[in-house]
Structure 1
Amino acid sequence: MIAIGTAGWSVPKAYAEAFPPLGSHLARYAGRFDAVEINTSFYRSHRRATYERWAATVPEHFRFAVKVLRTITHERRLRDAEALLEGFLGEVAGLGPKLGPLLLQLPPSLRFDDPTSPAFLRAFRAAFAGDIACEPRHASWFEPAVDGLLADLRIARVAADPAPVPGAGEPGGWREWRYDRLHGSPTIYYSAYGPRRLDVIADRLAADAARGRRGWCIFDNTAAFAATGDALSTLERLRSPAPPDHTGGPG
């Protein structure tokens, strides 16, 4: 599965005609996209019944990625967070088979700390058998030993754009699948990606699909609603065959 979507399921007025006209925002969004990243879960807990309602709103093939609570990542900073993690996992279980990866985004100031960081990651993997993506933003998380630990735990390291530190723009850790988070460049959260950049993104996604590699591509440049347009354009690129080459090359 190559999942393309946005952070959140808003349907901006500028793109309203690209979506079904009736239903809730989520239902309309799911009429065009197959996946979404839930970011509100980062700021506050949601009742399991809320997740169940969201799951009931979308088609069977639709999948939700869910961002882990900032209480765990930014306030507790992965320390003594097992009880909070257990509660979070109980809530998101309401999505049932429509639950996709869980996203662990870490604060830029959070260093990889031994034994705290490995202990939390191991506890996370022991408690959740599904896909986990980690988006670290401190350089200490990009050392070979940390990459090896993530791979051993089957945790994919996010490929982020723009990259907050060297190496963050490429995937790491568990390589059986890939999670791209595109935050907008040059102005983070605001800038749209131009046609050439979207061509590159679509070509890579197509190559991954051809190799049977699973992937998530989430546009997070939502501040000025560019994410919706970029995601729609990427979908169109993947669904439209490449034009024939009439350049008259050798052969």
Structure 2
Amino acid sequence: MRRFLEIGKKTDGDPAPEAPEHRNALRIGTSGWHYPHWCGRYYPQDLPAAKWLAWYARDFDCVEVNNSFYRLPSPETVRRWCAQVPENFRFAVKASRLITHLKKLKQCEAALQAFLDMADAFGPRLGPILFQLPPRWRVNPRRLAEFLALLPPWYEYAFEFRDPSWHCQEIYQLLERYQAAFCLFDLAGRQSPVVVTARLIYVRLHGPARQAYHGCYTEAHLDVWAGQVRRWVHGKRHEVCLFFDNDACSCAVENALALKRKLGLNSNV
């Protein structure tokens, strides 16, 4: 397996990436924005779909791109997205399922390079890269170690392990060694361990209901998360990205706005 210096685009002579200390310490958003059922609930009923992202970016400074999991967007599409958001906006991008689900992190150099080429099109608006691993793939520390060694170090990474066998000390230590975030999540009534492995803390909230991506979090739920987030960002020790993925009935955007209010975060305009 080739290591990152052979697969990445930058060289030793390239400028170093912006240090995390200079980024926003806390970003809250949703997993995706292109939801027709948000019209009339969040987007104005008559707002064209081409303007949804710009509307979203008035309230939020980040979004998680999920369609890249199924098909990589073209550079032209990425540039069009970037033109609709302010400079401080960040796109967290979900890695292709070809890497995570079909190849399961093995012999995926070409797929990884294609994905990173796409991610580079976001330029300074690129946020963390998310690898979501499949729910019925048992823990494989060696496979993960080889893959982590392959990744260029100038991006931020998060790994969401859907199979609970990955929730173990050996995996946490691997992630910590490479400063990759263990993605915290809840899904269909199950919550991952709360483990911090990097300066970046990446959270995905898929909904409180037994049916994934459904249900709105209660005020009590949001109060708990607000308290946890305050502890994480206190003293600028961590950078937090938190995304609501309970998009049914526009719960995600409602919960994200409510959590921002609890934390005293203003809109993004």
Shorter-chain TM-score: what band? 0.7 to 0.9
Distance in 1, matches of 2:224 and 2:58, equals 26
**Distance in 2 between residues matched to 1:76 and 1:22, nearest whole Å:** 34
The 8 Å contact of residues 189 and 209 in structure 2, kept in 1 or not, is answered as no
- Paired residues for 1:30-179 under 5 Å: 30-124=57-151, 127-162=152-187, 168-174=192-198, 176-179=199-202
Q: Which residue of 1 aligns with 2:258?
A: 233
User: Structure 1 runs of 4+ off > 4 angstroms?
Assistant: 20-23, 163-166
Task: Tell me the secondary structure at the aligned position of residue 82 of structure 2.
Answer: helix
Give the match's secondary structure for 1:115. Answer: helix
Residue in 2 aligned with 1:245?
none
Deviation of 1:164 after TM superposition, in Å, equals: 7.9
CA distance in 2, matches of 1:99, 1:201: 25
Q: Is this contact kept in 2: 1:2–1:216, CA < 8 A?
A: yes
Q: 2:138 touches 2:166 (CA, 8 Å); kept in 1?
A: yes
Is the 1:138–1:165 contact (alpha carbons within 8 Å) kept by the matching residues of 2?
Answer: no
Question: Secondary structure of 2:209's match?
Answer: coil
Distance 1:129 1:196 in 2: 38
TM-score (norm 2): 0.81
Give per-residue Cα distances to partners, 1:40-92, cap 9 Å, x unaligned: 00011111222122112110000010000001111111111011001100011
Instruction: Give the whole-Å Cα distance in 2 for the aligned partners of 1:192 and 1:67.
Output: 23
TM-aligned CA distance change 1:165 to 1:153, over 3 Å: farther
Unmatched 5+ stretches in structure 2: 1-24
Contact 2:141 2:171 in 1 (8 A): no
Tell me whether 26-35 or 217-226 shows the greater mean CA deviation. Answer: 217-226
The one-letter amino acid paired with 1:206 is R
Please state if 1:200 is matched with 2:224: yes
Q: Is the CA contact 1:162–1:169 (under 8 Å) kept in the aligned structure 2? A: no
Corresponding letter in the other structure for 1:53: R
Which one has more relative contact order, counting CA pairs under 8 Å at least 6 apart? Answer: 2
Aligned to 2:5: none
Post-superposition shift, 1:101? 0.1
- Could you tell me which runs of 5 or more consecutive residues in structure 1 were left unpaired when the two chains were aligned: 241-251
Letter in 2 for 1:129: W
1:148 counterpart SS class: helix
Answer whether contact 1:184 1:221 (CA < 8 A) is retained: yes
Partner of 2:209: 186
Give the 3 Å change call, closer, same or farther, for CA 54–75 of structure 1 in structure 2: same
Deviation at 1:225, TM superposition (A): 1.8
Distance in 2 (CA, whole Å) between partners of 1:21 and 1:91 is 26
* Same amino acid, percent of matched pairs: 36
In structure 2, do the counterparts of structure 1 residues 210 and 54 end up closer, same or farther at CA, with 3 Å as the change threshold?
same
Length-normalised TM-score, structure 1: 0.86
Q: Which residue of 1 aligns with 2:241?
A: 216
